[in-house]
Structure 1
Amino acid sequence: MSNCCKEGFKWNGEPVGKETTLGNNPAYVTGDNKDAAVLIICDVFGWKLPNVRLIADHYAKEANVTVYGEVIEPAMMEDPEKRKNFDIMAFIGRNSKDKRFPEITANAKELKSNYKKVAAIGFCYGAWAVLRLAAKDSAIIDCAAVAHPSLLEESEIANIGVPVQFLVPETDPMFTPELKEFTLKTLPTLNIPFNYDYYPGLVHGFAVRGDQKDPKQKEGLERAKNSAVYWFKQYLH
């Protein structure tokens, strides 16, 4: 993973949800729809980052769903020393796919047992898990979305079996031009609805860590939120 995965801006706003548990994991929950749920699988900043909670609140209100979302201290965004000292490869070692996917699967299955329809969206590190939850012949979720994905393998893209949305910035060292090309060639062959939403001039992390004071970044992160809301409304209701 790249340094862009540990940089960004903390947003202003007061989340309206509450902390709860999902399976054996602490989580943030917002919204009160009894039929449709969205699981957010976060980047390295985790579900305590205010940005993630504010996005969850928007999804809950605007898409009429209930949203559930090693936690890294959000202050890292504003402290260059903490960013420098944060070891991304050590984080990956502690949170490898083999270690994390069983508990993510358990959480998704718990949601599926309690809601008629379940979607999942993954930001950065969380994207690979969403695509695995969406795998054909074993899908646990009804639709999927990923934003500036990291650590994707071609096999995870080729095996998607539910409607899927990609929110893709122009510049992204983690979602390389080669992976973008593979994705664009592969999605039309999967016989599923898909949306590939492209954000010129923006960079990795824009959808959850963009600078709200920069007009172009603000427009992009709002457009990404609106695109995800539309996707959830389309396939959860």
Structure 2
Amino acid sequence: MPSLRNVLVGLASIGSALAAGSYPSLKVRNAGVPVGQLKNVSGIQIYHSYPPGRNTSAKAILFVTDIYGVPLLQNQLLADSLASNDYLVIMPDLFAGDAVSVEEQEAGLNLTEWRALHPTPEIDRIINTTIGYMRSKLDVEKIGGVGYCFGGKYVPRFLKASGGIDAGFIAHPSALTEGEISAIKAPVSIAAGTLDAAFNATAKSRAETILNSNNVTFQSNLYFAAPHGFAVRVNQSIPQQAYAKQASFVQAVTWFDSWL
């Protein structure tokens, strides 16, 4: 069961956000034309989505994607949705143009071989470079990290002491180890789904135990009938999936309002 602290933190952050009316939009976009811009930064293609009416922000979100990467429409729209809540959102291409397409994944692409082409040290390098760019060139003072699926492993790696990310949100992470969870020092919010074999209710409970024993500020939600990938790609005709995507988006935005 979630701890009383988890429940109170979640209710307080969501309640304060709604009561204050401080967000232009707490509705995640699922269709339409992306409004961000792609820029080449130190050889990395980076999607920039800006807060309404300006192109700078002292608080920004580093968006660490799933295997579908920057090209996926849903990732771009999700970045735009976060930005509409007054955040600068920076989403780097982690795979040097080699993101998996939905068609490749559905056709049975060998993901083990694909992952070997994008090892952890290289992903860490790209994230480190992006964080440096955010702080030195964009004058960002506080960085929140969102990680989905593949990216859910990497945001925690930068939530350690002096890791570069000040608060994090991860949804349905894949290949996340207990060692990486144990190293977390900054506040973290977790979204898990009951149908996600990569990070199920047992893994969520174990993560909570580790974070609690290390006195880390955390909050977690478990979404019923939510499959792997629910915070990004869902079947909108299935109410439980549509709800899980929308609710996990609110979870992320309100978390950063409290801890970033």
TM-score norm. by structure 2 comes to: 0.79
Pair 73,151 (structure 1): closer, same or farther in 2 beyond 3 Å: closer
Deviation track 1:90-114 (CA, whole Å, cap 9, x = no partner) reads 1110112123212212212221332
Q: Is the 8 A contact 1:154 1:179 kept in 2?
A: no
Give 1:216's aligned residue.
240
Q: Report 1 or 2 for greater relative contact order, CA contacts < 8 Å, sequence distance ≥ 6.
A: 1
How far residue 47 of structure 1 moved from its aligned partner, in angstroms, is 1.0
Does 1:14 find its partner at 2:48?
A: no
1:167 corresponds to 2:215? no
Instruction: Give the match's secondary structure for 2:165.
Output: coil
Query: What does residue 27 of structure 1 align with?
Result: 46
Conservation of the 8 A alpha-carbon contact between 1:112 and 1:140: no
Counterpart Cα distance in 1 of 2:172 and 2:68:
15
* Pair 1:197-2:216 in alignment: no
The equivalent position to 1:68 in structure 2, one of 90, 95, 101, is 90
1:101 aligns with 2:128: no
Q: Which segment drifts farther, 124-133 or 13-22?
A: 13-22
Whichever residue aligns with residue 66 of structure 2, its letter is D
Distance 1:52 1:107 in 2: 17
More helix by share: 1
Name structure 2 gaps, 5 residues minimum. 1-29
Change in Cα spacing, 1:167 to 1:96, as seen in structure 2 (3 Å) is same
Report Cα offsets for 1:171-203 as digits up to 9, x if no partner.
Answer: 222114543232021111222321111101111
Could you tell me which runs of 5 or more consecutive residues in structure 1 were left unpaired when the two chains were aligned: 1-10
| RMSD between superposed Cα atoms in Å | 1.7
Does the aligned pair in 1 maintain the 2:194–2:201 contact within 8 Å? no
Q: Which letter maps to 1:87? A: N
Q: Aligned partners of 2:102, 2:207: CA distance in 1, in Å?
A: 34
Identify the residue that residue 71 of structure 2 maps to in structure 1: 48
Moved over 6 A (4+): none
Cα distance in 1 for partners of 2:67, 2:131 equals: 19
Q: Percent identity?
A: 27
1:120 aligns with one of 145, 154, 159: 145
In the superposition, the TM-score normalised over structure 1's length comes to 0.86
Give the C-alpha shift of residue 230 in structure 1.
0.7
Structure 1 residue 91 corresponds to structure 2 residue 114: yes
The equivalent residue for 1:8 is none
Aligned length: 220
Q: Is the contact made by 1:112 and 1:141 (CA closer than 8 Å) also made in structure 2?
A: no
